[in-house]
Structure formats: C-alpha cells, structure tokens
C-alpha cells in the first residue's frame, strides 16, 4: 500500500542527507519529487505546503555530525503531516450521539457527496457500525432525484433491519429529512442518517439544495463522502461542498483498492476537516476508523499496516 508515496518520501529524505541543508537542496528534491507526489494524489497546494514548511524547518540549520540527518528529515516530515491532521481536529461521533441522547434528542447526520463515491453504501456501513455501539438509527432517503436511489438505500436498510423514511421521487429532500427527524423523536431513535443527492451536472442547483437541507434539518454533523481513488476530482468536490455546506468531517471510501494515499493528506490539508473513517470494501463491516499517526508512520517510515 502507498508504495509510490513511500518511495517519494524516502527519496526526499535521501536527497536531504547533508549535514547542512540549503534552500537549493530542498528545491531540487521537490522538483524531482513533484511528479511522484502528484501521481500519488497529493494535491498541488499540499505539495507546495510541504515544500514551504520543510524549507522553513530545515534550511540553514547545522546538524551535528553525531546526529542522523535522515532521521531529522523524516521526523520533520512527520511533524508537518501530523500538524495538518491535528489542525483539522477530530470528532468523537459515538460520544456526541450518546451525549445528545441524554437529552432525548436524536443526533442528525447529513451525508454529502457526488454519486458513485459510495455514499449510499457508507450510510449502510455507518448504521451497522452504530448498532455495534448500541446506537439505533433511522435512514432518510434524501436523494429524491436519481432513479433507483430510494430503492437502493431501502434495500440496504432492509438487509440491516433499519427503518427507512422515504417519500416519492421529486419530493423536497428537506421535507423528507424533517420527516426522518420527527420519526426519530417520536420513536426514540438515537441517530438520523440522511442520504442526499449527488448529481454532477447541475452543480449550482445541487449545492442550493444541499444548503436548503442544512437550513431546514439543522444537522449536528455534516459528513462529506469522497472517493479516495478519484484524486484531484475528490479534492475539487470537497472544496465545492465545503463552500455551500461547511461540512465538519470526511469519510474516504474505496481505500482498499488502488489507493495511493495522497488524497487523505490533501483533502485534510485543503479543507482543514478531519477524516473520521475509511471505507475499505463493499461489505457492511468494511468501515474502519482513520488513524492519522499510523498513516503518517506508514508513508514516512515505510511501515506496512
């Protein structure tokens, strides 16, 4: 996993092994590595950030002969990446749902993202994960546009034995969301998981629709679901959704496939929002917590997970 990215960072470390590192050294290493980083789905602005912060951290410092420059460069790289992840904060979803439940109010989560990223499957995985924590949920079929969307989410919910709230196609998604919240209140359901539309073509209308759902339903948490294989497209989508919905957190799907790793770092850097979970397969149990420290260790030290 992450072979290319690991190789890029390892060449970077090797390229900076002098006892004193000059600005030209850092620039040379980055110009050599830029393509490999971009091909590993590290966004251009994240490459620039790494370049800048590494330059500031290393240039002009004299390293004691007894100290291992390679070690220093690796640790600096890790610190830079960890600070990207820690600046985005974290969200203890389970804790928050349980806290809100003490006031007998359901916790409302809106799932946002473009069709095909795995949003529907992720909602089903999420309901399954909540149940393992003793948390009940209801799923809202909020994509009232795409043919088959209501049936698709209903099928997942039926398999999991989770209640679905749906209306007809063409219905106002904000109204369906409100129905879901009312149902959860009346039946003491802990969490409301709202699916939303994700058509690409009419981006402005879609974003207006998302902004309206947010206003009406007032979700406690807005999760952007992105495809980790879609590289720069995922970053662009995240930016657009952030502008209109100001989402709080991210789930990256398809991290089991040919996942290069760069999108995880980049999406957090660009949005300053944390990744909560990774989708790692098509089954309902294939949702794992994202661990930034493990991720960084893996790509800089080359540890396998």
End-to-end CA distance of the chain: give it in Å, rounded.
8
The alpha carbon dihedral of 273, 277, 281, 284 has a sign of negative
Smaller CB separation from ligand GDP, 77 or 130: 130
Q: Which of 253, 263, 271, 298 binds ligand GDP (CB under 6 A)?
A: 253
Q: Which of 135, 279, 290, 296 binds ligand GDP (CB under 6 A)?
A: 279
89 binds ligand GDP, rule: CB under 6 A: no
Question: Measured from the CB of residue 111, what is the shortest distance to ligand GDP in angstroms?
Answer: 9
Cβ contacts of residue 31 below 8 Å, gap of 6+?
Answer: none
148 binds ligand GDP, rule: CB under 6 A: no
Are 196 and 222 a contacting pair, CB within 8 Å? no
User: Taking the CB of residue 173, how many other CB atoms lie within 10 A of it?
Assistant: 24
Are 217 and 194 a contacting pair, CB within 8 Å? yes
Q: Which of 40, 46, 69, 121 binds ligand GDP (CB under 6 A)?
A: 121
Tokens 């709080």 locate to: 248
281 binds ligand GDP, rule: CB under 6 A: yes
Q: Which of 12, 43, 108, 118 binds ligand GDP (CB under 6 A)?
A: 118
Report 162-221 residues binding ligand GDP (CB under 6 A): 198
Smaller CB separation from ligand GDP, 52 or 151: 151
Structure tokens at 145: 């546009």
Smaller CB separation from ligand GDP, 26 or 153: 153
**Cα(113)–Cα(91) distance, integer angstroms:** 19
Q: Which of 11, 17, 44, 115 binds ligand GDP (CB under 6 A)?
A: 115
Question: Measured from the CB of residue 24, what is the shortest distance to ligand GDP in angstroms?
Answer: 43
Tokens 């749902």 locate to: 97
117 binds ligand GDP, rule: CB under 6 A: yes
Helices (H) and strands (E) in the chain, counts: 12, 8
Cβ contacts of residue 46 below 8 Å, gap of 6+?
Answer: 84, 262, 265, 266, 269, 270
Q: Which of 25, 39, 105, 256 binds ligand GDP (CB under 6 A)?
A: 256
Q: How many residues bind ligand GDP (CB under 6 A)?
A: 17
Smaller CB separation from ligand GDP, 105 or 155: 155
237 binds ligand GDP, rule: CB under 6 A: no
Q: Exposed, middle or buried by CB within 10 Å (0-12, 13-18, 19+), for 160? A: middle
Are 249 and 223 a contacting pair, CB within 8 Å? yes
Smaller CB separation from ligand GDP, 120 or 242: 120
Question: Measured from the CB of residue 227, what is the shortest distance to ligand GDP in angstroms?
Answer: 8
Residues near ligand GDP (CB under 6 A): 115-121, 198, 253-254, 256-257, 279-282, 286
């Amino acid at each position: 996993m992450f072979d290319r990215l690991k190789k890029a960072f390892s060449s970077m470390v090797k390229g900076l092994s002098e006892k004193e590192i000059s600005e030209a050294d850092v620039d040379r290493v980055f110009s050599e590595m830029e393509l490999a980083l971009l091909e590993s789905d590290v966004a251009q602005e994240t490459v620039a950030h790494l370049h800048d912060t590494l330059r500031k951290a290393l240039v002009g410092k004299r390293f004691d002969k007894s100290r291992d420059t390679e070690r220093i460069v690796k640790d600096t790289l890790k610190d830079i990446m960890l600070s990207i992840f820690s600046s985005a904060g974290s969200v203890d979803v389970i804790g928050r749902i349980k806290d809100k439940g003490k006031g007998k109010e359901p916790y409302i989560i809106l799932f946002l993202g473009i069709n095909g990223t795995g949003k529907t499957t992720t909602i089903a995985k999420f309901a399954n994960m909540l149940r393992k924590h003793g948390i009940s949920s209801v799923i809202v079929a909020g994509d009232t546009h795409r043919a088959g969307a209501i049936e698709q989410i209903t099928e997942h919910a039926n398999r999991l034995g989770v209640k679905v709230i749906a209306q007809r196609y063409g219905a106002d998604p904000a109204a369906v969301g409100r129905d879901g919240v009312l149902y959860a209140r009346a039946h003491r359901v802990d969490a409301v998981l709202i699916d939303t539309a994700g058509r690409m073509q009419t981006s402005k209308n879609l974003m207006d629709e998302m902004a309206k759902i947010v206003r009406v339903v007032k979700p406690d948490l807005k999760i952007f679901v992105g495809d980790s294989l879609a590289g720069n497209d995922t970053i662009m989508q995240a930016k657009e959704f952030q502008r209109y919905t100001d989402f709080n957190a991210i789930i990256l799907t398809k991290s089991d496939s040919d996942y290069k790793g760069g999108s995880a770092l980049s999406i957090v850097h660009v949005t300053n929002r944390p990744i909560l979970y990774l989708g790692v397969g098509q089954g309902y149990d294939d949702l794992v917590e994202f661990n930034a420290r493990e991720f960084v260790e893996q790509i800089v030290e080359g540890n396998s997970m």
